[in-house]
Amino acid sequence: MNDQELIALFKEALDDVVPGKAGQWNHIDLTTAIEDLSVDSVTFMELVGFVEDKTGKVFADDELARLQTFGDLAGLIRA
């Protein structure tokens, strides 16, 4: 997946797990820090589950614990 497809996937995931706030995700790119989203850990894990379902990948908990940006998550998807 290229960068634009990944960003679109992340926005789609956010729209799914945090409905009604689509306008908040316009600024997201691969440098966006995950903590800047102001979502709790449960919501973030729902986002990860959405991404796993869409990509057919499963990420280990230790890999997820190291994520800081959407670029980090993109790296897991591409690996």
The structural domains of the chain, with segments of one domain joined by +, span: 3-78
**What is the pLDDT, as a whole number, of residue 41?**
86
| Helical pair 3-17 and 70-78, crossing angle rounded to 10 deg | 110
Please write the tens of the pLDDT for every residue from 28-76. Answer: 999 999 888 888 889 899 999 999 999 999 999 999 999 999 999 999 9
CATH 1.10.1200.10 for domain 3-78: yes
The predicted model scores a pTM of 0.88
Which residue, 31, 35, 43, 26, is CA-closest to 72?
31
Q: Is the pLDDT of residue 22 over 70?
A: no
**What is the pLDDT, as a whole number, of residue 2?**
94
The count of C-alpha atoms lying within 13 angstroms of the C-alpha of 38, restricted to the half-sphere facing its C-beta, is 3
Report DSSP state, residue 29. Answer: -
